[in-house]
Amino acid sequence: MSSSQRDNPLEALLHPFADGLLQRPEAGSVLFLRAREGAALHAARPPGLAATQPFRPEAVRLQRLGIDLLDEDALPEATYPLVLVLPPRQREEARALLAKACAAVAPGGRVVASVANDEGAKSREADLKQLACGSVSSLSKYHCRTFWTQPDTACDKALLAQWRQLDAPRRVAAQDVPGEGFLSRPGVFAWDRVDAASAMLAAVLPADLHGRVADFGAGWGYLSMQLLARCPRIASLDLFEADARALALARRNLADARVPVNLHWHDVEAGVPGRFDAIVCNPPFHALGRGDRPDIGRAFIAAAAAALAPGGSLWLVANRHLPYEDALGAGFAQVRSVAQNGGFKIVHAVKA
């Protein structure tokens, strides 16, 4: 989410403090789970703020503010007098995050969360009530609900322990993934299945792809796994992925790769280092919101054009309605449609 856009959940999260309804702690640092940079954070940034953010573009913005980023899966327990949370959309991931927040808050501290009304606000408030044994207050602001625990809250320890494991990595079986399937976890893209668009692209990849190959927006590693299974002349493979949680899974899914594999927690929109003979790509078409963002795909195409060696090829799959033709025409000498089916299109483009 661009800092130039209004971030309603972030503003609603910090509103009770700006309005005097809630008080910031006088001592101790504040933990902000899934923090995002924005005008409200600039105006009301608490001292000693630590944060978690697995999405690389947002993490970079936070780091530029001098905010320390922590590993969300290794947080200290019973430490922070105030824990702020922007829960994600996926239910298991959101419940696990709320449980981690309740585990990290110090005795007498408070957990405060905010969710947009159309992103499951009432359900997430109900989740926190379950963890806090009903001791939760709330308000509505900016088309969001902000809700918080009381300082004397005693959480349901059994439920907390159960929910903390809801987004743990687990094996998922898939027909075209050999062996025991792939490792995934709730919240990453297509976490419990092989994405139909990626499967469609994998089915048409030529066996003669060779040399240095990259996977832009690699997710948990499906296309990279297929490249290694289908293309014996690949010499090395680079994965670029903005979601740190997905990239960690890809590392484990490709642990036995027959060629050198390099993993990059990286925002492809900013361009990528290196030079490649081929690139495969199923670019995202939204960021942290639901609306179509064709500009992301166009940025991926431009990054691919810049990173490919002369004569290198891009294999791309996208929703048929997304307008990528101008970007492809600007960056590549040859562009051809390979297939269209089920709302998706596959394009092969060659750099001059």
SS3 content of the chain, % helix, strand, coil (to 5): 30, 30, 40
Give the pLDDT score at 2: 44
Give the pLDDT score at 180: 82
Secondary structure (DSSP) of 61-84: HHHHTTPEE--TTSPPSS-EEEEE
Tokens of 307: 């990173």
User: How many whole angstroms separate alpha carbon 99 and alpha carbon 96?
Assistant: 5
Give the pLDDT score at 4: 47
Confirm or reject CATH 3.40.50.1000 for domain 8-163, answering yes or no.
no
Pairing of strands 170-172, 182-184: antiparallel
Give the pLDDT score at 291: 59
Secondary structure (DSSP) of 300-351: HHHHHHHHEEEEEEEEEEEETTS--HHHHHHH-SEEEEEEEETTEEEEEEE-
Tokens of 330: 């600007």
Tokens of 346: 């596959």
CATH class of 170-350: alpha beta
User: How many whole angstroms separate alpha carbon 108 and alpha carbon 110?
Assistant: 7
User: How many whole angstroms separate alpha carbon 263 and alpha carbon 218?
Assistant: 9
How many Cβ atoms from other residues are within 10 Å of residue 139's Cβ?
15
Residue span(s) of the chain under CATH 3.40.50.150 come to 8-163, 170-350
> How does pLDDT run along the chain (352 residues), one tens digit per residue?
444 478 999 999 999 999 999 999 987 899 999 999 999 999 888 888 999 999 999 999 999 999 999 999 999 999 999 999 999 999 999 999 999 999 999 999 999 999 999 999 999 999 999 999 988 999 999 999 999 999 988 899 999 999 999 999 999 998 888 778 999 999 999 999 999 999 999 999 999 999 999 999 999 999 999 999 999 999 999 999 999 999 999 999 999 999 999 999 999 999 999 999 999 999 987 665 555 678 899 999 999 999 999 999 999 999 988 889 999 999 999 999 999 998 999 999 999 8
- Is residue 211 within a helix (H) or strand (E), and if so which, with residue range? strand 211-216
Radius of gyration of the CA atoms of the chain, in A: 22
Give the pLDDT score at 49: 94
Q: Which residues, 6+ apart, have CB-to-CB distance to 203 below 8 Å? A: none
> CA distances (Å), 336 to each of 203, 283, 309, 316, 329, in order?
17, 18, 19, 11, 10
Tokens of 101: 């927040």
Beta bridge partners of 184: 170
- Is residue 161 within a helix (H) or strand (E), and if so which, with residue range? helix 157-163
Give the pLDDT score at 288: 58
Give the pLDDT score at 292: 66
Place of tokens 């893209």: 189
